[in-house]
């Protein structure tokens, strides 16, 4: 009986044993695979020890997550250095919009003020201002 040829999809990736390249890897690659497997299994063992510990109350601390939140919240300014690029970006996106909106609103309001002074703006029904 012949089975259809295996095709991998997003949720069903090709198993390593069906990949012909798997059988020709060098000893260094094998060693690297073994090291990665050792790290992975050590981490998994630590996680399972924490997870099943009956005296654990609350979170399992993940140092990677702690580092990530620290980097995203409290460690931004110490790694900031004013360079020409950052100064330009800051001036452009920090002060630029303020001056832009000032210009927009000033011209709009001055135009409205001029119309009001000339008596041309129809404000007969405007009671909520």
Grouping H, G, I as helix, E, B as strand and the rest as coil, residue 7 is coil
Distance (Å) of CA 126 to CA 55, 85, 107, 112, 121: 69, 48, 22, 14, 11
Rounded-to-integer distance, Cα 36 and Cα 25, Å: 15
**Residue 91, interface with other proteins (CB under 8 A)?**
no
Could you tell me which residues come within 8 angstroms of residue 25 by beta carbon, excluding any fewer than 6 positions away?
33
Among 60, 88, 115, 116, binds other proteins (CB under 8 A): 60
Segment contacting other proteins (CB under 8 A): 8-16, 22-30, 71-79, 84-92? Answer: 71-79
**Residue 108, interface with other proteins (CB under 8 A)?**
yes
Segment contacting other proteins (CB under 8 A): 21-29, 38-46, 78-86, 96-104? Answer: 96-104
Per the listing, tokens 């001055």 go with 110
Query: Which residues are at the interface with other proteins (CB under 8 A)?
Result: 51, 57-60, 65, 68-69, 72-74, 97-98, 101-102, 104-106, 108-109, 112, 126, 128-129
């Amino acid at each position: 009986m012949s089975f259809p040829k295996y095709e991998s999809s997003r949720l069903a990736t090709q198993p390593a044993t069906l990949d012909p390249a798997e059988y020709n890897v060098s000893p260094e690659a094998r060693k690297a695979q073994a090291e990665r497997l050792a790290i992975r299994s050590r981490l998994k063992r630590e996680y399972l020890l924490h997870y099943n510990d009956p005296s654990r109350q609350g979170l399992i601390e993940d140092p990677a997550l702690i580092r990530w939140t620290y980097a995203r919240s409290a460690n931004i300014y110490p790694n900031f250095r004013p360079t020409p690029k950052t100064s330009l970006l800051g001036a452009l996106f920090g002060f630029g919009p303020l001056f832009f909106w000032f210009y927009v609103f000033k011209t709009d309001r001055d135009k409205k003020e001029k119309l009001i002074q000339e008596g041309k703006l129809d404000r007969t029904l405007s009671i909520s201002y």
